[in-house]
Structure 1
């Protein structure tokens, strides 16, 4: 889970994609959270829980 508003990252989506791509196939997926910052799990905990349950 990566926030789309992360001022300390040039391209949060690209960084998240690189992490998921480095994992074994099928182990991870990238979810973006519009308007969230560096720690979207803290800003939108309900969204994190719903994504965890959807796995």
Structure 2
């Protein structure tokens, strides 16, 4: 979740930030065990996908 909010602060859209995190996990950037969908598939995007203002 920390990386998600870092993406939001970097002006990424909400959907884009979540998708990037999931791709990072799937590619093994967070460690081999996190490639399993158990760790990343439960997070889904719903709602407004525009960037947030902080």
TM superposition score normalised by structure 1: 0.36
Choose between structure 1 and 2: higher strand proportion: 1
Choose between structure 1 and 2: higher helix proportion: 2
TM superposition score normalised by structure 2: 0.36
